[in-house]
Structure 1
Amino acid sequence: MWKSVKGAAYSLYARRLRAQLDGASLPRHVAIVMDGNRRWARQAGFADTRVGHRYGAEHLDEVLQWCADIGIKHVTAFVASVDNLRKRDSGEVDNLMRMIEEVVAERLTRSSSVWQVHTAGRLDVLPDSTRHALKLAEEATRHHEAGFHLNVAIGYDGREEILNAIRCLLEEEGRAGHSIDDIAQRLSADQIATHLYTSGQPDPDLVIRTSGERRMSGFLLWQAAYSELHFTDVYWPGFRKVDFLRALRSYAARHRRFGA
């Protein structure tokens, strides 16, 4: 009885939050730091906290549906940094990579998915099977025409992304026969941006980080320069639709000054 009453109250509250967003300014691009999988599993009583990665991977599918339903067409999901892959226990990393292959990549290639997949990060630091699964997902969704784009940030480091973008720009200009002095005179932020992983997409308007951490951890350092930030104490697998709607409501209530 109590569970049904609680469920009805939750549904009513979610509808009220959704109604408050009608006509509101919503982000075109939401970036998400999906943090707290292991802590959620520990809190839920699982002996093996690595199971949190499966719940976290499956939950991404649900959150993408919320974004699609409300019309948010660009999402960047921070799955794992280069440091995560290098410093964490090999068993945990193997488990995480398996979840990416079995859950994220597989579900995104279903015929019912509207998301076009893009990878953002160093694929060379990933296991061959994970790299292959993500490349297949990119190829399988390349021709999706709904205009929904998902960037999977894996093997990612924000400083390295900027460095690589500048390196690629210099190499491109060098092949065109331009001198260093000439390149320096013409160098612009827009030129660098065209060589970032998210080239051609709008910068994130809103960055959401779960688990209570209040830092960016090198995530989208260039692109998120003027993003609104939303931190929530909820662990990623427990991030509910009402938490998502609250983040959007908070965003809609802010006056964006873009650094001013």
Structure 2
Amino acid sequence: MAIPTMSSRTPLRGNHRSAQSLSLPFAVISGLNPKRNRSRTTLLAILALISVSAFFYCRQYPMSISPTYLLHDKVDTPATDQMVLALETNRDSRAAAARKHRKLSAGRSQITLTPAQELAAVSSFLASLPQNVIPSAVDPSRPINPELVLDFDTRSPHAMEEVARVVEDVWARNPVLLYGKLYSPATRELKAILSDMNLRPPPFIMDVDIRDDVEVLAPMLARLTQSPELPVLLIGGQPVGSLAQIRTMLASGELQRRVKAAGAVIGGGKRRKNKK
């Protein structure tokens, strides 16, 4: 029996046809100009090899190159599903709260503050953080927009209750408050009087003339306290009077009684030790 060899005329049909189909383009290109097209033939061979490899890889692992967002519905990820559900629930709850707020606030007018309430709101705003300033666009001759100095919904049905709490809190924290000028002799005298009282809590002192909002704050304080000039001393939220009046009250003991009635303790502060 004759053993088939490579020269036999009964080759494997499938392999022979595949080899012919793959080698035909290369043979044609190489036959045209072997020297010029040798590099092109090599490049085409590499590209063909990559294409065939990618084809068989995709057939064997069809899901391996699928985007992750397409696999979300096909892969069981309970932790991810719970996270997505929590985020969607939180987003929906915030949107519902915003819609409810707009519905409740629709048609409600802004609250109107009395001069005493406005003075308390402005003082609370300025005393809470050193960087708080009154915007330059505010007209000091008119009542300030409560939304600029209050940190709650000023259109809420309970807004006035919140204002009352602000008024009580600011004067409890700052029973003695001095709006003055840094280079004013009258302010220096009032600072010395308060320092001698050694108050607890210590007086809140603000030099208005060195602030960025002095052009708005100074006339606003003049309107709210009925004091045309600084300094202005507030005890329990009430303007005390001029420097001459304060001297008279200090001599009679009236000033000390007002300070105690406002909640400050005379002699209760910490004194600085004198350096030897």
Q: What is the TM-score normalised by the length of structure 1?
A: 0.24
Report which structure shows greater RCO (CA 8 Å, sep ≥6).
1
Higher helix share: 2
Q: What's the TM-score once normalised by structure 2's chain length? A: 0.23
Larger Rg, first or second structure (1 or 2): 2
Structure in which a larger fraction of residues adopt strand: 1
